[in-house]
Amino acid sequence: MLLFRHRYSNDLSYFYGEMPSGTRSTTEAHVIPSSRAQQDEDKGQTSSLAAFKSNYEKLPHYLKSCLDYCYVVSKEFYTGVSKGNVVRLLLAQGLIPEKPGEIMEDTAENIINELIGLEMLHELYTYNGLIIEFSEFYEKSCLLEVEEQDFVSKAADSPIHAIEYLPDEVGDLVHLKYLYLTCFKMKTLPRTIANLQKLQTLHLPNCSKLFQVPVEIYNIKQLRHLLFANCHEYSDGIRVPRGIGTLANLQTCTGVYASAGIASELSSLTQLRTLHTGRSHFYPNWNHFLPPHLQELILSGGLVEMPNWLPSVENLTILELINSNLLEEPSSVLQYLPKLKHLTLWEAYKAKLIGKEFCDVGGFPELETLIIASENLVEWTEIVNGAFPSLRYLRFYGCRKLRFLPEGLQNISTIQELFVNVLHSDLARRLNGEENYKIKHISKFHWSSEIF
């Protein structure tokens, strides 16, 4: 399939396409195998592709239609499509049947997990969240080429202006279920948005200048997912009016400023599963904040101390602490969360040294991904034997002073990837020499740049 998207950058419009595999070019260096090795590799690829095609054809219709739709929508997201977005889009498209007694989001996630189990999809956690990727054989076996004119038409040559507001007529789209807007200059939403009574998802990921959200938005009782600016990029969050607690079906709330009043209302949202909040100093006082289904939590801004309610959020699988200014090491609390799979500590704790107390024997029992970003970190001294029993990915970002990786890293047999965004030359020398034993069992060790 030849895909085109029309994008605007600095008032210039351009097309770009996802070319069929086999026509792609690359600047990466490749080792050219011998002809015999190439033949063996080709046979293996052909065999694997045939097996994939066979498995694809055997998929039930509901799985096949969901897989195909996932691929189409993934091409609209430059940094990859998140698992949450896939779930929400499948619901909006009507591909998920509503079953009595079941939450549709659970049904959609089960379908995605089934496709992951069949190796049709892959799941990867990055600092952009939980990303869905496709089997390398999918494009080779399931896509058709289309002509450009069948897919897009170029706009007339006229000045392009960034959208600063939505017209009131948006309220006429009464059957709309999913509204996604990326408008950097938009400052307000029209009050007529309340007419969209079938709206399930309102997604405004880059609207950092949005300073007014109409209270009428709370009249959309079917609203299940409310997503504002990314907390990584716009840490203050969007200020929303009182009344968010009336959205009884709300499952996702991201990019909101966590004032004391909003915090108390969020506590009443019993269906809440995902919460990303912007800068606030009220987190420690959310004494009654215990949504029973909360699975993903991002707290951006000053904490000083760990919230006393956090250890009780037992269903938590994803946690990110961003610019937290903690005075205590957070792992003393976090390592006992029973279902935590992905942990990001982004300038959360300004320490030069991490000790063996970071994780006890059996600590972080389900943790698969650990991301640490710290401009102060110099050394991680030790990991005790039996710590991190499920760890697969260890990543360091912005740790320009990091010179020592922990003794005991060699004992984590599950680890598959070590990434150091900025690799200090002292650390590189050690890992190439006397401390190579710490990482030689890790199949993928890579970095972006090196400091000398």
**What CATH number is associated with residue 96?**
1.10.10
Same domain, yes or no, for 117 and 198?
no
Q: What CATH number is attached to the domain comprising 283?
A: 3.80.10.10
Residue 295 has pLDDT above 60, yes or no: yes
Structural domain for 274, as ranges: 168-451
Looking at 298-302, 318-322, 392-396, which range is the least confident one? 298-302
Residue 177 domain-assigned (yes or no): yes
SS (H, E, C) 168-233: HHHHHCCCCCEEECCCCCCCECCHHHHHCCCCCEEECCCCCCCCECCHHHHHCCCCCEEECCCCCC
Same domain, yes or no, for 9 and 136?
yes
Same domain, yes or no, for 8 and 105?
yes
Residue 29 domain-assigned (yes or no): no
Q: What are 43-66's pLDDT values in tens digits?
A: 556 677 888 888 888 999 999 999
Residue 28 domain-assigned (yes or no): no
Same domain, yes or no, for 112 and 177?
no
Number of domains in the chain: 2
Let me know the angle formed at the C-alpha of 57 by 55 and 63, rounded to the nearest 5 degrees.
85
Same domain, yes or no, for 135 and 251?
no
Backbone angles phi, psi at 436, to 5 degrees: -60, -25
**Amino acid, single-letter form, for residue 101:** G
Residue 338 domain-assigned (yes or no): yes
Residue 38 has pLDDT above 50, yes or no: no
Domain boundary among 115, 148, 181: 148
Domain boundary among 148, 178, 211: 148
Domain boundary among 148, 182, 216: 148
Same domain, yes or no, for 281 and 311?
yes
Model confidence band, residue 289 (pLDDT cutoffs 50, 70, 90): confident
Same domain, yes or no, for 223 and 186?
yes
Q: What are 186-227's pLDDT values in tens digits?
A: 888 899 999 999 999 999 887 777 766 889 999 999 999 999
Same domain, yes or no, for 214 and 297?
yes
Mean pLDDT over 169-187 rounds to: 87
Residue 52 domain-assigned (yes or no): yes
Same domain, yes or no, for 226 and 317?
yes
Model confidence band, residue 147 (pLDDT cutoffs 50, 70, 90): very low
